[in-house]
Amino acid sequence: MRMTVLILAFLLSASAVAAAPPQWTVDPASKLQFQGRLNGDAFTGTFRRWSAAIVFDPNALAASKAVVTVDVGSAATGDADQDQALPSNDWFAAQRFPKAVFTTTAI
């Protein structure tokens, strides 16, 4: 009986160590912004549609990661000329590449 309890305690502690880091939830009010220049003028824009899958534990950095997926066609600056240019091939080429994905390689 004592050996069974010790084995069970070992297995439970081993599975706790091997558990994946927690999944984080991105606040829906978060913004993903970018900066650029158009005709020499600096501007700031926002991607209106994006998502992030974040798994993070400061005590398990090797198992932590983040993947951010951006709908590049959702870029907006508030300026009609800039907003019209952003999906074009000169900028994001949104028709050919509708999604941009950033994946961490290390944290």
pLDDT tens, position by position, 57-83:
999 999 999 999 999 999 999 999 899
* Main-chain dihedrals φ then ψ at residue 97, nearest 5 degrees: -130, 75
- Per the prediction, the chain carries an average pLDDT of 86
56: Cβ contacts below 8 Å, ≥ 6 apart: 21, 22, 24, 64, 65, 66, 107
pLDDT band at 6 (very low <50, low <70, confident <90, very high): very low
Banded model confidence at residue 18, pLDDT cuts 50, 70, 90 = low
- 78-99 per-position pLDDT tens digit: 999 899 999 999 999 999 999 9
**Domain spans, the chain:** 21-103
Pair 90, 101: CB distance under 8 Å: no
Superfamily the domain 21-103 falls into: Lipid/polyisoprenoid-binding, YceI-like (2.40.128.110)
**Count of CB atoms situated within 10 Å of the CB of 45:** 19
